Structure 1
C-alpha cells in the first residue's frame, strides 16, 4: 500500500465494539483484588508531584494522581486511567493495521488480538509505567509508518510529540527510536531523513522532555543507577529468558502472526516502505540483550508487527477448514491462559499455579492485611516511646501500603530508603525511639551497623497464604545507632 493508494475505511463500529467489551470486562474486575505494590508507589509519588523520580519519569504518577482525584483512591478508581490507556492502545494498533491496507476483517482481528493478548491485559488492568508506554510506542509507530508510507515530512511533528511524551514516561522509548532509525537508514525510504521537518520534530521532543532530563541531570542521573542495578542483579536471568518470553508474553497463538509481520515487507514490494519496522524489532531485542533489560521491554513492538502479519495469516486460514478449527481451538486455550494470567478471575487461594508463571497477581493481594500486621507490631512499642519511634519499610510497596492503609489503623507516616521514598525522608533527627523494621537487614551491610539490636516481634502472613513477596516478612524492633540525617545516605537503595 503506497502513498498513491487510499487506505481502507477505518472499522470504527467493529473496533468500538471491541473496546466497549474491553472496558466492561476491565472495569468489572478492576477492584477484585487490590492495589499492586507499584500502584501504591505511584499513588504515593502522585501526592508528591515533581518532574521526575529516581526510577521513572513523572507521567505515570501524574496519571495516578488525576485518576484517584477524579474516581477515588481505590484500586477501581486508580485503574480507570489504565483501562482508558488500554482502549486507546487497541485503537492505535488497529489503525496501524489499516496503514498496511488491512480491511474490516483484518482490523477486527487486530483489535481482538490486541485487547485479549496477555501483555495488554496486564497493563490495562493495573496502572504501570508500561500502561502508557505501550500506547506511546504504538502511536510513535503509527506516526512513523504514516511518514514512511506518504513521505509527508509533517508527520515528524507527531513522531516528535509522542517521543517527547514517551521520554516523560519511560526512557525505553529511546530503544524504539533507535530501532526505527536504524531500520530507515538500512532499508529506506531515506528521503524522510532529509526533510527539515525532522529537525522540527526533534525540537518538539526536546522541549517536551527537557524538564524531565534536567531533573535527572541535576540529581546525578539516578535512573541510570536503577537501570544499572537491574542489569547487574537480573541481567543474566533476563538474557536466558529473553527469547522464550517473547513467545509467550503476547500469546503463543499470536507468534505466527507477528513472525508473518516480520517477513511480509520483504515479500511484498508494495510494502517495502514498512521494512524499517521489521528491522526495528531485532535491533531492539539485540540492544536489550546487551543491556540485560527485561524481556517485556520489547513486547510493545510485537503489536504493530502483529498488525502487519494479520492479513497473510487470515488469508492462510481461509484456505482450509481444518486450519481454522485447530487455530480456533489454540486461540481459545491461549485466550483462557491470558485471562488467568492478566486478570483477577481466580480466588486468591487458587493463585499458586498462576504465580509459577508471573508474580504480578500475588502482588495485588493482602496490602490492607499487611497494614494490620504492622499496626499490631507497632502496638508492642510502649506508649511512652511511640512519639519518637519510626516505621522503616524495606521497600516502596510496603511503605506505600502503610501510607495508604496505616492512618486508619493509628500508624504514623512510614519511611523507606528504597527508590524515591529515600528522597521523601529521612525521618527527623528528633525521632530517636525504637525503629519498627519491616523486613531484614543483610549481614555485613552498612545498614547492619546503623540499625542494631533487632528483636523480631511478629511476621506477616498473606491472606490465604498467597505466596507473594510479603508473605512471611519479619517485623522487628531495633535501635538506631546514629542520627537519621547521618544514617540515611548509607541506607538508601536504588534497587
Structure 2
C-alpha cells in the first residue's frame, strides 16, 4: 500500500482563485436563463421524467432526472444551469484532492484548473444532461479508488461502492471507467488488494444500490438497452472508421488546453533556460503511481474506441464528456518540476483568457444566435407564450377548479415537454403516445382527466396515437381542435410558429359553452 498523502499546503493565491470561481459559476448559472427564451432540449426531456420519480426511464437510469427535478423545484429556471456548474465545480475539487495524493498540491491545483481547458466543460456544460451528471462521478471514482489503494480502509472501499452504484444509476457508460479500474487492479501489483475484503465490499455496496433499477429493467423488458441499441446502429459504409471520428472529436475538444500549454511554453523560454538544471527532470510523469493516472485518464476512451473499431457500433461524440476529467492533471504531471515556477502564472493567465473568451462567445450565441443563423436553436423557442396558449385554451373548455386542471399533455415530445416544464401545475408528459415510455399515463387516468395534444404540421400526417384514438370514443368525451400562430421571441427571425392542438375534455369537467 502507498502512504497516505500529506495535507495540502498551497503557495498559489487560493483566495483570488476561489472568488474568480464563484463569479464564474454565478455568471454561467444566472445569465443563460436571462438570455434564453426556452430551456435546453435535454433539460426539458429530463424534467418530463424526473417529476414522475420512477426507478428508470426508457432512455436512461433515474438519478440525473431526480436531482434535476429537485434543483428545478428549488431554483426554477436557474436550477438546471446552477446544477451543471456545481457538477463541474465538484469535479474540479475531486480532481484536486486526487492530485494531492499523486503530486505536490500546487501541481495538483494547476492540473485541476487546467481541466477547464477541455472544451466539454465550458459551453456544453450549459445544458445539464446525463453526460454532465457523470463528470463528478468519474472524478469521485478516480479519487476513491486511489484513496482505497493507498490507505486500505474499509470505509474508503465502501465509499467507492456507493459512488459506483450512484454512477450506474446516472448513466450506464460509467461502466467503461469501472472496467478500466478492474483491469488496472488485475494487471498491476495492486491486485494484492483482491485478497482483502475491501474490493468485495465495494462490489456488494454497488450492486445493492443498483438492485432497484435492475429490477425495473427486468419489469420494463430492458427498454434502455433497446434504445441504446437503436442509437448504436449506423448507416455508414465504413462503420468501424466512425470510431476514429469519435477519437478525432475528443482531440478537438482538447485544442484550448493544448493552446494554453503551448503559449505558456513559448512565452517562458527565457525563464525555463535560466532555471536550475535537474538531472532527474525530463518528459516523464512527475507523480506517484503514474500508471494509475494514465489508466483513469486515457483508458476509457481507448476502451470505447477499440470496441467501436471491433464491432462497428456508432459512437456518439458526447459520450466523451466525462472521460477527460483528469486531462489537466495528466498535463500538470508531465511538466518538469524546474519549469513550474515559470509556467504557473502563464498557465493561469491563459486559462483566464480562454474562460473569458468562451463565456462572451456563449453569451452572444444565446442572445443573438438565432438572428445570425436565421433559424432558432432549442433555447430560442417561445416557451412562455406556448404555455400561456395551452393554459388559456384548456381553461376556456373546462369548469373552474383544481379537479379539472390540465393533468397531462401529449403529442410532439419537444412541444409538450416545454409546456409541462412551464405550467404551474407541471402536467405529466405522454411520451410519443407509448405507454411503455410513459407508464404513469394509463387509459383510466386519461378518461378521468382528459389531455391536450400538440403537434406541428408534419405531425398531422402521422397515425393517431392508439390511446388517444380510444379516448376519443369514450362516451361524453368532448373533442375540440384548432391551431395557434405564435411569434418567435424578440431578435428571433422567421415566420410565426404554427401549432396544431386538440383537447380531450371528460364530461365531468366540460364547460357548458
With structure 2 as the length reference, what TM-score do the two structures score? 0.71
CA distance in 2, matches of 1:39, 1:434: 22
Return the match for 1:475 from 492, 499, 503: 499
Runs of 5+ unmatched residues, structure 2: 263-281, 399-403, 470-480, 505-513
Tell whether 2:72 aligns with 1:43: no
Match of 2:417 in 1: 400
The answer on whether the counterparts of 2:412 and 2:456 sit within 8 Å (CA) in structure 1 is yes
Match of 1:310 in 2: 332
Show CA shifts across 1:113-150 (max 9, x none): 33564322356544322333110111001112233445
Give runs of aligned pairs for residues 7-156 of structure 1, distance below 5 A: 7=6, 9=8, 11=10, 13=14, 16-17=18-19, 19-32=21-34, 33=36, 34-71=38-75, 74-104=76-106, 106-115=107-116, 117-122=118-123, 125-150=126-151, 155-156=156-157
Shift of 1:436: 4.5
Show CA shifts across 1:433-477 (max 9, x none): 9965345249787869x98xxx99456564357599xx9865336
Tell whether 2:369 aligns with 1:350: yes
CA distance in 2, matches of 1:154, 1:227: 35
CA distance in 2, matches of 1:148, 1:366: 52
Show CA shifts across 1:40-85 (max 9, x none): 33333332212222222221222123223333xx211444433333
Match of 1:283 in 2: 303
The answer on whether the counterparts of 2:488 and 2:497 sit within 8 Å (CA) in structure 1 is no
Show CA shifts across 1:404-441 (max 9, x none): 33569xx9876442687633335635899996534524
Shift of 1:220: 0.6
Residues 249 and 40 of structure 1: CA distance in aligned 2, closer, same or farther (over 3 Å): same
Tell whether 2:339 aligns with 1:338: no
Tell whether 2:485 aligns with 1:463: no
CA distance in 2, matches of 1:462, 1:192: 61
Shift of 1:98: 1.6
Runs of 5+ unmatched residues, structure 1: 481-495
Which structure is larger by alpha-carbon Rg, 1 or 2?
2
RMSD of the alignment, in Å? Answer: 4.9
Most deviating of 343-352 and 293-302: 343-352
Shift of 1:112: 2.8
Pairs aligned (count): 460
With structure 1 as the length reference, what TM-score do the two structures score? 0.74
Residues 433 and 186 of structure 1: CA distance in aligned 2, closer, same or farther (over 3 Å): closer
Give runs of aligned pairs for residues 313-462 of structure 1, distance below 5 A: 313=335, 331=351, 334-336=354-356, 338-340=358-360, 343-346=362-365, 348-350=367-369, 362-363=378-379, 365-371=381-387, 392-395=410-413, 397-406=414-423, 415-417=430-432, 422-425=438-441, 428=446, 436-438=454-456, 440-441=458-459, 457=483, 462=488
Most deviating of 142-151 and 159-168: 142-151
The answer on whether the counterparts of 2:308 and 2:315 sit within 8 Å (CA) in structure 1 is yes
Shift of 1:39: 2.0
CA distance in 1, matches of 2:149, 2:373: 42
Match of 1:487 in 2: none
